[in-house]
Structure 1
Amino acid sequence: MTDAEGADAALPDDLDIDALRAALVEWYEADHRDYPWRRTDDPYDILVSEVMSQQTQLDRVVEAWDGFLDRWPTAEALADADRSEVVAFWSDQRLGYNNRARYLHEAAGQVVDDYGGEFPETPADLQELMGVGPYTANAVASFAFNAGDAVVDTNVKRVLYRAFGVEDDDEEFERAASELMPDGESRVWNNAIMELGGVACQQRPRCDEEGCPWRRWCRAYETGDFTAPDVPTQPEFEGSRRQFRGRVVRVLGEHDELPLDELGPRIRVDYAPAGESGREWLRGLLDDLEDDGLIEVIERDEGTVARLRA
């Protein structure tokens, strides 16, 4: 925790922060959506992507971003462009409010005229650019210069609320996000936690499908309650495989290990070893969890047991 006493921390004080961090970064680096702006640290390229993404789905932004940079590849080129041409491009690509194109053109001029062609590097200094608010400034500082604060957008709030029970309050979300982010790692961390919210912890969660790396610690996954600030009603989960997986993780968290026929009745009341919801059904559930690295299934002379992976 970053708070020395822990009393005022936004996150539960029993969380293994180092393990959380390592799990998320490993998950992100193993496989993530390969948007082209994630392969560059050029602040101009990243600023263009951030402004375009404000009103447009990311998959649609790719083509527009490529076309924009082909036409105006640097801040100097954009500053020299006719503003009406920039606005026309923006409109043709259906990128939302045309004022953003005007602001982007103006910001490029500021970089050239006021900063000698070099982008400012901190969130505070980047906000001096026209149309660049706190979120965009922090994103550019993070992804271009690895010098940002913890990003807190709707997706990140959803993750923090569901996983750790962070209070639905902007200050609490900011504090929790800051406690989680490792020092000096804003580039990879902010990309990773936004990817988690955008891919696995969507409004309708895809915990198992996307191999969410925080399932072991997640309150929503344990309880099946996936409400969130932007999800006022619960997605259907009663009787789902996801619900039973969450129960397995919760029950094994309360015991060192359990034989299958002791675990089964704790997972569902209609468990019968030889029945439809019996050992074969339970073993399939456990095999999935073992493949995800959450549990271990151990064969012993006296029978099969399951336990959480250390």
Structure 2
Amino acid sequence: MTDGHASSLETGDAPALPEDVDDVRDALISWYEADHRDFPWRRTDDPYEILVSEVMSQQTQLGRVVEAWEDFLDEWPTAADLAAADRSDVVSFWSGHSLGYNNRAKYLHEAARQVIEEYDGEFPRSPDELSELMGVGPYTANAVASFAFNNGDAVVDTNVKRVLHRAFDVPDDDDAFERVAQFAMPEGESKVWNNAIMELGGVACEKTPTCDESGCPWRRWCHAYETGDFTAPDVPTQPSFEGSRRQFRGRVVRTLGEYDELELDELGPRIRVDYGGDYGREWLRELVSDLSADGLVNVEKRDDDTVVRLRE
């Protein structure tokens, strides 16, 4: 890491976040609020609707969940409607939409009955209370508390672990992930934070990351971006493309396609956010020299500058 670190007392024996942790938080939230995938359950704070989305999303691709979620709510718009339904109808819906594991449909139906019969139709609001509902484990309970009531802890799923491991070099240890995740989350902002960090893991920091293409807001702090090592708990071998010379050669060609020509110091920041230092002018000069030798670009000296353009 290039920045200093906060006191290790703040996150136990796990690596600490950078000292400018507020900037880290603001960068992620601003990135998420500027643009994110528009799933319909992100537009509601109804705990029933969110619970349905969370149960459906278990081991099912989110793109496939949207239609099933909308159809389910058309059929049973409220927890009371679901509680009054025949369980066989709910299971039939589940299997008909290929949502897998019919037990989840049974548990969801029973959870709706609990809300009506044991909680007078009002969903419990805390993760601990939500965990009392049938089939609602700690992760789902925390997600509903976060997204419906802004009352959750930091979510720690596979995507979040991957992000924290790469960005802040958190070791592959569940306790360490929990501590760092909880410290990173701004107090009282579980809804936006958990959505944002899961979005980061889902669109920018996937198993094969797209750091620059997705405009990852944590590049300036990221250990993996700095070192080029994008391994993670669920990525045992480093992707062969991300961070490689082949990747940056492609970026040079694509960038020059948008301009007639660029000087090295104009081109550099456009192909990597950390241009400078070890990845400054000499690194870039070698890269464009390779492209020139391959007949892809023209490199020309003008006064004290080096100008690069695509070869026609």
- TM-score range relative to shorter protein: 0.7 to 0.9
Between the aligned residues of both structures, percent identity stands at 64
In structure 2, distance between residues paired with 1:281 and 1:22: 41
Counterpart of 1:84 (choices 77, 84, 88) is: 88
User: Residues 191, 281 of structure 1: CA spacing in aligned structure 2 closer, same or farther, 3 A cutoff?
Assistant: farther
Where does 1:266-281 land on structure 2 (aligned, <5 Å)? 266-267=283-284, 269=286
**Corresponding residue of 2:103:** 99
In structure 2, stretches of 5+ residues that fail to align are 252-267, 307-312
CA distance in 1, matches of 2:161, 2:239: 18
Report if aligned partners of 1:208, 1:242 keep a CA contact under 8 Å in 2: no
Aligned residue pairs: how many? 277
Letter of the structure 1 residue corresponding to residue 182 of structure 2: S
Partner in structure 2 of residue 134 of structure 1: 138
Cα offset, 1:9, TM superposition: 5.4
Greater mean deviation of Cα atoms: 159-168 or 215-224: 215-224
Provide the rounded CA distance (Å) in 2 between the counterparts of 1:19 and 1:57. 32
2:204·2:210 contact (CA, 8 Å) conserved in 1?
yes
Instruction: Look up the match of 1:23.
Output: 27
After superposition, give the CA deviation of every residue in 1:20-62 in whole Å (9 maximum; x if it has no partner): 1111111101110000000000000000000000021001000
Q: Report whether the alignment pairs 1:265 with 2:282.
A: yes
Partner of 1:225: 229
Structure 1: gaps (5+ residues): 255-261, 283-300, 305-310
Letter in 2 for 1:31: D
Counterparts in 2 of 1:2 and 1:221: CA distance versus 1, 3 Å: closer
In structure 2, C-alpha distance between the alignment counterparts of 1:136 and 1:205, rounded to whole Å: 26
Is residue 240 of structure 1 aligned with residue 257 of structure 2?
Answer: no
Aligned to 2:161: 157
What does the per-residue CA deviation read over 1:40-92, in whole Å, with 9 as the maximum and x for residues that have no partner? 00000000000000021001000000000000000000000000000000000
TM-score by length of 1: 0.81
State the AA in 1 paired with 2:281.
Answer: G
Superposed displacement of residue 12, structure 1 = 3.3
* Cα distance, 1:250 vs structure 2: 5.1
Report the CA distance between 1:225 and its aligned residue: 1.2
Relative to structure 2, which stretch is displaced further, 81-90 or 239-248? 239-248
1:61 corresponds to 2:56: no
Query: Mean alpha-carbon deviation: is it higher for 200-209 or for 40-49?
Result: 200-209
- Given candidates 115, 135, 145, the residue that maps to 1:111 is 115
Could you tell me whether the CA contact under 8 Å between 2:56 and 2:69 is conserved in 1? yes
Q: Which amino acid aligns with 1:174?
A: E
Pairwise CA distance, 1:274? 11
